[in-house]
Structure 1
Amino acid sequence: MAQAKTLTQNEVDQVLRYIATKQRYAIRNRAMLLTSFYSGMRVGEIASMRVCDIRNEDGTIKNEVRLSSSQTKGNVGRVVFVNEKLRTELASYLHFHKPKTNTEPLFFTEKRIGFSANTMTQWFFWLYKKAGISSASSHSGRRTFITNLANKGVGVRVLASLAGHKSLNTTMIYIDTNDDIKRRAVELI
């Protein structure tokens, strides 16, 4: 199976424009998409999150999401760091969504139930397809997150930790390269 496509900023913007103009649940869809790109979480991790995982008791968005072993691949809990951009997106989403309880799913389907990992995987597939981005999948946000950080000089050990990988080799597979990246690299000499 081919690796998920790493999206350029122009492609991410293209998907965001599609969401803004063509989507019934635009605020939710934007938050789901950007959670993938800004956190590097797996689709199953995103689908498993509840409101209490990301919102403090005072209503603010947490700086860190502590995923339990049941929410992650490999049954090992991990911490996901939430940057300011994602905190802003999630706060906007929750302002719109207004959950009744902290234990309800963070993201919900049209039927007002939580997404399963499989349902969310299909959701990402169709979103990218309808937005005109070929070869993208539910893993594209995660792969783009890791690649972008690597291109900004973040070391592979930090990347592995952020991704929840046990092996540096696994993380290295995620890092995409292209001719523009190589051109910029040789100019550093």
Structure 2
Amino acid sequence: MDAFILWMKQAGYTETTRKEYMREVQSYLVSLDGREVHKATKMNVISFLVGKQSTTGEHTRNRTLSAIRTFYAALIDFELAERNPANDVKKSKTEKNKKPVYLEEQDLANALQFINGRYKERNIAIFMLMGYCGLRVGEVHRLNLSHFRKLKGTLEVLGKGRKWNEIPVPELLLPYLAKVEEERIHPYSTREEAFFVSQKKQRLSIRQIQKIAGLTFASFKKHHPHLSDMDLSCHKLRHSFATMLLNNGVDVRIVKELMGHASIETTMIYTHVNDDQKKQAMATMNRNVRF
């Protein structure tokens, strides 16, 4: 485990990813029940994944598999193992075929009306960064003052795999970011450059960001019963952003760059059609057919 931690730090994995992968791998090692880790087989990996599948979803299963694959890659790199038994285990296709949950453009705008409280401008900025810029919750958490290029109107975003991505900020969001910067609480540490600072004068945590979005969704759903069953979260705001761009005719290759996806296949899951688009297509058929 020490070798795994060292390898992930050297490879540039974020602290959040390191913690998640450590937790998954520790559970996997317990499941081996004393079997030497370098002697584990494909069956051991599948057995562990199947055991988890009854209580977790397909996304969690695939994340667990990624953690185990990365673990063995680290051991091989340090010459502590010769093969990776997780490489031959296929990822679940169910997750890939699952239609993303997202808010329609007007619903996304309406949700902003339910953000209130002492730090209203800050919370609106956080919500909009995910819904109108497509940032992941971890990317919002990692934002520093220097990442906001006010004159240029862009954000430097540190995404997955320690990759930097420059995102143009929509004009409607710029004044909120400027307000947050102006009213930013001074952190305890003079070295802390966090853009979003909590009441405790520390970098706003991922959990706090999720809570801000969660409270907004809860209030929003109360006034929009037709969306009460929709499972909304920070990541669903990112889904909404990608869907909104594609529905407005933005090239999928541009959406890929804005989302920070490594592969265009990942972006393609957002090229779904909604019910209104289906109705419009059928209405066209009705106009063209004559008996």
What band does the TM-score fall into relative to the shorter chain? 0.7 to 0.9
2:154 to 64, 70, 82: 64
Evaluate the alpha carbon distance shift between residue 92 and residue 15 of structure 1 in structure 2; reply closer, same or farther with a 3 A threshold.
same
Is residue 6–residue 176 contact of structure 1 (8 Å, CA) maintained in 2? no
Alignment of 1:141-180 (within 5 A): 141-180=237-276
Alignment of 1:33-72 (within 5 A): 33-55=127-149, 60-67=150-157, 71-72=158-159
Evaluate the alpha carbon distance shift between residue 185 and residue 121 of structure 1 in structure 2; reply closer, same or farther with a 3 A threshold.
farther
Select the structure of larger CA radius of gyration: 2
What is the rounded CA distance, in whole Å, between the counterparts of 1:181 and 1:61 in structure 2?
A: 39
> Gaps spanning 5+ residues in structure 2: where?
1-56, 58-97, 222-226
Is residue 141–residue 206 contact of structure 2 (8 Å, CA) maintained in 1? yes
Provide Cα deviations, 1:59-112, integer angstroms capped at 9, x if missing partner.
Answer: x35422223xxx321222222222222223212333343768895211122323
Aligned Cα RMSD in Å? 2.8
Is residue 61–residue 87 contact of structure 1 (8 Å, CA) maintained in 2? no
Q: Is 1:6–2:95 an aligned residue pair?
A: no
Is residue 43–residue 138 contact of structure 1 (8 Å, CA) maintained in 2? yes
* Secondary structure at 1:39 match in 2: coil
Evaluate the alpha carbon distance shift between residue 165 and residue 126 of structure 1 in structure 2; reply closer, same or farther with a 3 A threshold.
same
Provide Cα deviations, 1:22-56, integer angstroms capped at 9, x if missing partner.
Answer: x232111111111112211111111100111104x
* Secondary structure at 1:107 match in 2: coil
For 2:122, the equivalent position in structure 1 comes to 28
* Secondary structure at 1:80 match in 2: strand
Provide Cα deviations, 1:101-147, integer angstroms capped at 9, x if missing partner.
Answer: 89521112232321233442343233312332641101122111111
Q: TM-score, normalised by structure 2?
A: 0.54
Higher relative contact order (CA 8 A, sep 6+): 1
Q: TM-score, normalised by structure 1?
A: 0.79
What is the rounded CA distance, in whole Å, between the counterparts of 1:117 and 1:146 in structure 2?
A: 21
> Gaps spanning 5+ residues in structure 1: where?
none
Is residue 61–residue 91 contact of structure 1 (8 Å, CA) maintained in 2? no
Is residue 185–residue 197 contact of structure 2 (8 Å, CA) maintained in 1? no
For 1:131, the equivalent position in structure 2 comes to 220
For 1:80, the equivalent position in structure 2 comes to 167
Residue 108 of structure 1 aligns with an amino acid whose one-letter code is V
Provide Cα deviations, 1:147-181, integer angstroms capped at 9, x if missing partner.
Answer: 11101111211111111111111111234431112
What is the rounded CA distance, in whole Å, between the counterparts of 1:104 and 1:79 in structure 2?
A: 18
* Secondary structure at 2:167 match in 1: strand
Q: How many residues align?
A: 179
Percent identity (aligned): 30
